[in-house]
Amino acid sequence: MTLSEKETLSQNNFPAVEKLLHNEIYEYIKQIFTPFPEKSIETQIDEIINDFSQNFLIADNANTNVEIDWVIRNFGNSKIPAQPTDFETYFQSLNENVVAHSIHTSSPQFIGHMTSALPSFVRPLAKLMTAMNQNAVKIETAKALSFCEREALAMMHRQIYNLSDNFYTQHIQNNQSTLGILVSGGTTANITALWCARNKSLGAKHEFLGIEKEGLTAALNYYGYKGAVVIGSELMHFSFDKAADLMGISTKNLIRVPVDSNNRVNIRVLRQAVADCRQQNLHIIAIVGIAGTTDSGSVDPLEEIAEIAQENNIHFHVDAAWGGPVIFSRKHQHKLAGIEKADSVTIDGHKQLYLPMGIGMVFFRDPHLASSIEKQASYTMRKGSFDLGKRALEGSRPGMALFLHAGLKLIGLNGYEFLIDEGIRKTQYMAARISAMPEFELLAEPDTNLLIYRYIPEQFRDVIANKQLTETNNQFINNFNESLQKMQRQIGRTFISRTTKKTINWDKEISVIAMRAVIANPLTTEGDIEAVLNDQIQIASGISIAY
Amino acid sequence: MTLSEKETLSQNNFPAVEKLLHNEIYEYIKQIFTPFPEKSIETQIDEIINDFSQNFLIADNANTNVEIDWVIRNFGNSKIPAQPTDFETYFQSLNENVVAHSIHTSSPQFIGHMTSALPSFVRPLAKLMTAMNQNAVKIETAKALSFCEREALAMMHRQIYNLSDNFYTQHIQNNQSTLGILVSGGTTANITALWCARNKSLGAKHEFLGIEKEGLTAALNYYGYKGAVVIGSELMHFSFDKAADLMGISTKNLIRVPVDSNNRVNIRVLRQAVADCRQQNLHIIAIVGIAGTTDSGSVDPLEEIAEIAQENNIHFHVDAAWGGPVIFSRKHQHKLAGIEKADSVTIDGHKQLYLPMGIGMVFFRDPHLASSIEKQASYTMRKGSFDLGKRALEGSRPGMALFLHAGLKLIGLNGYEFLIDEGIRKTQYMAARISAMPEFELLAEPDTNLLIYRYIPEQFRDVIANKQLTETNNQFINNFNESLQKMQRQIGRTFISRTTKKTINWDKEISVIAMRAVIANPLTTEGDIEAVLNDQIQIASGISIAY
């Protein structure tokens, strides 16, 4: 059937409504669901939206400088209109109220968060994904896509674990094997990894049916544990708090080990924590290593953590949501050495794989580990099928695998290597500039492409240089940096985020408010970095906080 | 700055690489990240993809008839290419291997799953969402979008709960209030609802810090319970198994109450189950009512469940992932009466709100319930902020709110009412046709727009009519229907799914394999319904199973 035949048909055959009381709404619904009438609504909207996208993407500033209270004014209507809004009016208001006051995450001077510019092919691909509207939960709604997803995940698995050709031939399209799970984000990936680790380590044994069927309390009783814990650095992402809460083990039992001055977990203390837990008869579900902390991009000593986990027969999870793609760089991949010993690894596609928001991944060394969370349902999710939803936290989900597959093929190893190398190179450039400028203090040597530093008001530059800073001075500098970051954000020309670092000084723990730069946008130049720092200096000159 | 100035600039200013060893990859990366050069890659890909989309959307059949083993052959390569694949080659192979063998979820004769045709405006909107690439986790990466999302959720909340103007004015943009949470799907929505219910009911009290901080075992001890359960119908979606497992209460303690012949939970048995749990000192985290079972679209008697929950002071959750939008129909909304008494409600946008895959929602009657799962983090998620990620299972997530907002405004109450009414009307038409055709047996009167029935081979039509079917007969008919559904799926002209119903017969429980139709696609006509049934009759005539 040709397109024009189809148009005629879909217009003629539209369901006959016996009593056509709602003539208008009927015509309208027909119109918006019919794929391609001449100069269709879709074509018209496509043109409007291409304009919006272009204007959005060429904007230089990080954001408009309007106040949040002003933006909020436009979103106070909780009533759904009875009649459909005409699309020109709607898209015009969407542009004025939403697009105009959205964050220019792709701006080269927006270097404060892990969201950056994307390659252009993802935009048309988003339209294709939506046109196809596959549901990856089961093979009956995602036939070829299910295998495409498995292939893309296997490619990433190979990049991390580099197992034999034979291993991949055996598992890549084997419905009993799960090399990885595509999820909506790193949080779900981390929760899934710990869920698998928990269920496997407290599984069925003799007459005990396993934690899944008998619950946490019964499992701890059966195995003779007093509680269950997860151990990692104090810089673990807050998704681990969510996981510990959700799984019922408590956030108190998320054991946070202190980091060294470079924000890497203290191995000696970690080893001691493991020994303490064992002595207290606490079950260690997993030890977590971080490859790229959210705070500062630092990478834990993964080899050493792997060793501790192996010695104690504990699941080793690596949260590489941010840093994972550093494995693409021949120059920097050594920083992640030991990741290949992890039982599970989280990587976000929407971070350093430069894919759209909504692509998290968890990978497993053992292709059968995810069986510990498998579920069935009669209407779908049949045993022995390729239904991807049976070993996953999520059910229905979109075909985001299209982006992952396209990214790996269209950017390739060399493309990703270039992106990683450039990000780290520019971060080192920024670190060097900060060290050279009297206005700033570098707070840690960057491991990867995150950088923390702070602005030092003029009157404290000497005491900083002489390491004579008092706690009161520090508090003042904190307030100053918080104001500076907020003002910079509000003005909206450039953007840097902020975080709070705990450091030991004067023999006690103090908080340092830090500026946090994330250099991932390939469009960001050295000139942009200078511009961001100069913007801060300029804004700082106008801040007066009484000392 | 104009677009052409920007083009020149972004090409000139691309980061200088001191030693340009990777000239080609550098040029390539520059090219794919630059938004709009003349006849850009983006424009070219957009044209290619428009063709793919058109061809995909005008296809009549449900799917190609190729075997899965044949599709798999194309997805066996676990190696990421070193050099980027050229985009024409890649998209050509994507079209041949993925698009061509994807399921035509929008085909009017694909009436077997909850995935259907979408209004055309979602396709350009997907491109805009990807261009904007907002991260809804926090205000610093989603300024206007955060408020747009809150408004869209408030609109849905109002549709469910219909509280006062004053209530919505107070909470719609109040950062202490959470009227709803946008999640990736119904599974995450259900898990989130139960998580909130669990944490609230086992919260801090006197010296006890609450389940979040002290864990499940300590909470049960402190409150003096022997265990924790969730109670609902035996037709609860398998996401509740996931939730019970994940939360550590065990799938055994997901108490499944039998349904009546119309697939609605048996209220007498439910009441008894609640009493039994109380007597056994088991904490009831929630009672679940279903508004649209996955199996057959049936709706539990929500009013009566609400009453039991209220009497016993138990959280009442309604899983309306499928059936929720029936509230838009003045004619059918009475079927959901009682939903407004629920403490939490799950609705999927990617089902009967006709939005793309990846939009689940959970709503709360009490705007402060979600505080029970709140988390903070120093780099973001600050107390008192509008950061949406602090009260959510997920962290980083896309701006799917754009679709929800646009759907509510562009389809409106009248549009959604039309869609719901038409789906139910056509389902009743199909039910009448099935009842009238000797080849089929209707297995339950449809509550909404799901229908279960089966094919009866000729030799059993008399015994069915005389209610003299034996267990052996039934098993034969089951095998026949399973074969029929698989053949129909494989041939790919039309599609109906299948499920397994447990019914009591001959004084024991038997399994009935059922055909399952889902009539939600507004492009599906009575003619399409006839075509699907006739396709089954034709395929059935060629099946020979020895009796």
The pLDDT of residue A378: 66
Query: With 60 as the cut, is the pLDDT of residue A6 above it?
Result: no
The pLDDT of residue A30: 67
The pLDDT of residue B19: 45
The pLDDT of residue A37: 57
The pLDDT of residue A16: 45
- pLDDT band for position B2 (cuts 50, 70, 90): very low
- pLDDT band for position A142 (cuts 50, 70, 90): very high
Which chain A residue's Cα is nearest to B385? A68
B231 contact partners, CB below 8 Å, separation of at least 6: B255, B257, B270, B273, B274, B277, B284, B286, B287, B288
The pLDDT of residue A3: 44
Nearest CB to B131: which of A57, A212, A252? A57
The pLDDT of residue B28: 66
3-state secondary structure of B534: helix
The pLDDT of residue A421: 95
The pLDDT of residue A35: 62
Query: Does the beta-carbon distance from B120 to A247 stay under 8 Å?
Result: no
C-beta atoms surrounding A12 within 10 Å = 8
Query: Does the beta-carbon distance from B57 to A36 stay under 8 Å?
Result: yes
| Phi, psi torsion values for A40, nearest 5 degrees | -65, 165
Return the structure tokens found at A216.
Answer: 């946490």
- Which candidate in B32, B175, B357 is best for mutational testing of the A interface (most A CBs within 10 A)? B357
Q: How far apart are CA B55 and CA B53, in angstroms?
A: 5
A188 contact partners, CB below 8 Å, separation of at least 6: A360, A393, A394, B184, B188, B393, B394
Give the range among A46-50, A313-317, B425-429 with minimum mean pLDDT. A46-50
- Tens of pLDDT, residue by residue over B394-417, are 999 999 999 999 999 999 999 999
Classify each residue of B81-94 as buried b or exposed e, where b means 16 or more C-beta atoms within 10 Å of its C-beta. Answer: beebbebeebbeeb
Query: Does the beta-carbon distance from B414 to A375 stay under 8 Å?
Result: no
A92 alpha carbon, distance to own chain's centre: 31
Sign of CA dihedral B208, B210, B211, B215: negative
Task: Give, for B53, the enclosing helix (H) or strand (E).
Answer: helix B41-58
Query: Does the beta-carbon distance from B187 to A396 stay under 8 Å?
Result: yes
- Tens of pLDDT, residue by residue over B277-336, are 999 999 999 999 999 999 999 999 999 999 999 999 999 999 999 999 999 999 999 999
* Cβ-contact B302, B293 below 8 angstroms: no
Query: With 70 as the cut, is the pLDDT of residue A19 above it?
Result: no
Query: With 90 as the cut, is the pLDDT of residue B341 above it?
Result: yes
Q: How far apart are CA A195 and CA A372, in angstroms?
A: 9
Query: With 60 as the cut, is the pLDDT of residue B4 above it?
Result: no
- The residue assigned the tokens 């730069």 is A517
The pLDDT of residue B379: 61
Which chain B residue's Cα is nearest to A210? B250
The pLDDT of residue A467: 84
Nearest CB to B121: which of A45, A238, A253? A45
* Cβ-contact B306, B258 below 8 angstroms: no
Task: Give, for A256, the enclosing helix (H) or strand (E).
Answer: strand A254-257
Distance from CA of A46 to the nearest CA of B (A): 5
The pLDDT of residue A502: 83
* Cβ-contact A81, A75 below 8 angstroms: no
The pLDDT of residue B385: 87
Nearest CB to B76: which of A6, A172, A252? A172
Q: How far apart are CA B330 and CA A498, in angstroms?
A: 50
* Cβ-contact A325, A355 below 8 angstroms: no
DSSP string, B164-191: -HHHHHHHTT-TT--SEEEESSHHHHHH
- pLDDT band for position A43 (cuts 50, 70, 90): confident
| Average of per-residue pLDDT values in chain B | 92
- pLDDT band for position A506 (cuts 50, 70, 90): low
- Tens of pLDDT, residue by residue over A173-224, are 999 999 999 999 999 999 999 999 999 999 999 999 999 999 999 999 999 9
The residue ranking higher by pLDDT, A468 or B306, is: B306
B64 contact partners, CB below 8 Å, separation of at least 6: B100, B101, B492
Distance from CA of A142 to the nearest CA of B (A): 6
A17 contact partners, CB below 8 Å, separation of at least 6: A26, B422, B425
* Cβ-contact A103, A63 below 8 angstroms: yes
Q: What angle (nearest 5°) sits at the alpha carbon of residue A367, between those of residues A362 and A369?
A: 75
Query: Does the beta-carbon distance from A159 to B129 stay under 8 Å?
Result: no
Classify each residue of B460-482 as buried b or exposed e, where b means 16 or more C-beta atoms within 10 Å of its C-beta. Answer: beeebeeeebeeebbebbbebbe
Nearest to A156 by CA among A297, A353, A415: A353
Task: Give, for B96, the enclosing helix (H) or strand (E).
Answer: helix B87-97
The pLDDT of residue A8: 42
- Which candidate in B72, B110, B127, B221 is best for mutational testing of the A interface (most A CBs within 10 A)? B127
Q: How far apart are CA A212 and CA B241, in angstroms?
A: 9
Distance from CA of A327 to the nearest CA of B (A): 13
Give the range among A225-234, A316-325, A401-410, B60-69 with minimum mean pLDDT. B60-69
Query: With 80 as the cut, is the pLDDT of residue A521 above it?
Result: yes
Q: Residue A157: its chain B contacts at CB < 8 A?
A: 78
| Phi, psi torsion values for A205, nearest 5 degrees | -160, 130
Task: Give, for A501, the enclosing helix (H) or strand (E).
Answer: strand A497-505
* Cβ-contact A478, A513 below 8 angstroms: yes
Query: Does the beta-carbon distance from B348 to A134 stay under 8 Å?
Result: no
Nearest CB to B33: which of A117, A133, A148? A117
What would the mean pLDDT of A523-538 be, rounded to a whole number?
97
Distance from CA of A499 to the nearest CA of B (A): 4
Query: With 50 as the cut, is the pLDDT of residue B5 above it?
Result: no
| Average of per-residue pLDDT values in chain A | 92
- The residue assigned the tokens 């690894």 is A345
The pLDDT of residue A109: 96
The pLDDT of residue B536: 98
Query: With 50 as the cut, is the pLDDT of residue B16 above it?
Result: no
Q: Percentage of chain A surpassing pLDDT 70?
A: 91
The pLDDT of residue B502: 83
Which chain A residue's Cα is nearest to B26? A418
Q: HEC profile for B210-275?
A: CHHHHCHHHHHHHHCCCEEEEEEECCCCCHHHHHHHHCCCCHHHEEEECECCCCCECHHHHHHHHH
Half-sphere exposure of residue A247: CA atoms within 13 angstroms, side-chain side:
33
- Which candidate in A67, A394, A411 is best for mutational testing of the B interface (most B CBs within 10 A)? A394
Residue type, A540: A
Q: Residue A155: its chain B contacts at CB < 8 A?
A: 77-80
Nearest CB to B395: which of A83, A185, A253? A185
Query: Does the beta-carbon distance from B253 to A408 stay under 8 Å?
Result: no
Give the residues across from A454 on adjacent strands. A441
Which chain B residue's Cα is nearest to A242? B393
Q: How far apart are CA A137 and CA A387, in angstroms?
A: 6
Q: What pTM does this model have?
A: 0.94
Residue type, B37: P
- pLDDT band for position A1 (cuts 50, 70, 90): very low
- Tens of pLDDT, residue by residue over B441-485, are 999 999 899 999 999 999 999 998 888 889 999 999 999 999 999
Can you give the length of chain B in residues?
547
B79 alpha carbon, distance to own chain's centre: 33
* Cβ-contact B318, B342 below 8 angstroms: yes
A291 alpha carbon, distance to own chain's centre: 13
Return the structure tokens found at A121.
Answer: 């092919």
- Tens of pLDDT, residue by residue over B497-541, are 999 988 776 677 889 999 999 999 999 999 999 999 999 999 999
Give the residues across from B497 on adjacent strands. B516
- Tens of pLDDT, residue by residue over B125-160, are 999 999 999 999 999 999 999 999 999 999 999 999
Nearest CB to A147: which of B75, B212, B524? B75
- pLDDT band for position A5 (cuts 50, 70, 90): very low
Rg for chain B, CA atoms, rounded: 26
Nearest CB to A135: which of B108, B115, B516? B115
The pLDDT of residue A227: 97
Crossing angle, helix B401-436 and helix B122-132, to 10 degrees?
A: 150
- Tens of pLDDT, residue by residue over B30-61, are 666 766 556 677 888 999 999 999 999 998 89
Q: Percentage of chain A surpassing pLDDT 90?
A: 84
Query: With 90 as the cut, is the pLDDT of residue A270 above it?
Result: yes
Nearest CB to B105: which of A32, A99, A134? A134
The pLDDT of residue B38: 60
Nearest to B57 by CA among B122, B21, B107, B124: B107
* Cβ-contact B330, B358 below 8 angstroms: no
The pLDDT of residue B382: 66
Query: Does the beta-carbon distance from B13 to A87 stay under 8 Å?
Result: no
Query: Does the beta-carbon distance from B184 to A78 stay under 8 Å?
Result: no
B228 contact partners, CB below 8 Å, separation of at least 6: B198, B202, B216, B220, B249, B253, B282, B283, B284, B285
Number of Cβ pairs closer than 8 Å across A and B? 614
